Amino acid sequence: MNQTKLLYHGYRFPPEIISRAVWLYHRFCISFRDVEDLLAERGIVVSYETIRQWCNTFGPVYARTIKRRRGRLGDTWYLDEVYIVTVRGERRYLWRAVDQDGDVLDILVQKRKNKQAAVRFSKKLMKGQGRSAREIVTDKLSSYGAARKAVMPTSMHCHERYANNRAEVSHEHTREQERQMRRFKSPGQAQRFLAVHSQVHNLFRVGRHLHRAANYRLLRNRSFETWQQVTCVY
């Protein structure tokens, strides 16, 4: 109860509504105005700008808590980079790493895709996971090999053709959001949004096609329970 009061102190709307708005925005490919309409249908009148503020304020808090609760993920890391363009025409590279189960380990938006950028991302990964990878799987970009030798010399490195498809497929959700948002406003906004989006996606990505209906619903309910605990909504 005290934690809930501290987290939501000074906000007029109850935690249930705030967490619901943040969940809707990051769980589905919709806009702030769409979230406003969905809440209005339930009799909750709130502007899309307020929802934007909630997502910017509480989204990173929720994401950090989800990441901390999940702890270490897989020991095989699939790394890939893809370019994104902001509304101002700034070109940046989104670095993403996923594990063998498809869970996003971390993301980082950077200017370049050289050795320095690869080293920076590798160090961020190691800090977040608390260890180096048993194996990293990448494309043939030479920056990955140089970064592995500098940061993770004991890790195996696979860069065979098509071996990195798991990481490349993980960019699909980013492209969907990019189209919905009509490009990111700035590199900083892309970093903030995608860091939260990836953790929410991890939590609710339970693999519907891999389970029987009853098992899928059980896993989905567990995800909702975790979300309630993360957002301090009991």
Domain count, the chain: 2
Residues 113 and 159 in one domain: yes
Please state, in angstroms and as integers, the Cα–Cα distance from residue 2 to each residue in 6, 8, 14, 183, following that order. Answer: 6, 10, 14, 39
- pTM of this structure: 0.90
Which structural domain range is residue 104 located in?
76-185
Greater confidence (212 vs 114) lies with 114
Residues 125 and 29 in one domain: no
| CB atoms closer than 10 angstroms to residue 163 | 13
Residue 96 resides in a domain:
yes
Tell me the pLDDT tens digit for each residue of 174-226.
Answer: 888 888 888 899 999 999 999 999 999 999 987 766 778 888 899 999 999 99
Residues 109 and 163 in one domain: yes
Query: At which residue do the structure tokens 């304020």 appear?
Result: 57
Residue 176 resides in a domain:
yes
